[in-house]
Amino acid sequence: MMTKDEQWIHDHFEELVDAYAGRYVAVANEELFVGDSPKEVEEKARQKYPNSIPSVLGVPHPEDFICAV
């Protein structure tokens, strides 16, 4: 079972790839934090929500989904 934050990432995954490919995101309390490293986004999320455990993701590039034939 997914947490609310993991579900948020799942529901917005295509938008994240379109907007933040190659960057890192964290979601805490269904709020998005964007940065250049996993540590940076986790710190941003924990600063605002100190009691949360943020979900952190390295956002892939769209071409990462292209299969070679």
Q: What is the span of the domain harbouring residue 43?
A: 4-65
Q: How many independent structural domains does the chain possess?
A: 1
User: In the prediction, which pLDDT does 68 show?
Assistant: 56
d(CA 69, CA 31): 38
**Residue 26 is encoded by which pair of tokens?**
């964290």
In this model, does residue 69 exceed pLDDT 70?
Answer: no
Confidence of residue 66 (pLDDT cuts 50, 70, 90): confident
d(CA 13, CA 21): 11
State the alpha helices, DSSP H only, in the chain: 4-11, 13-20, 38-48
The pLDDT tens digits for 1-59 are: 999 999 999 999 999 999 999 999 999 999 999 999 999 999 999 999 999 999 999 99
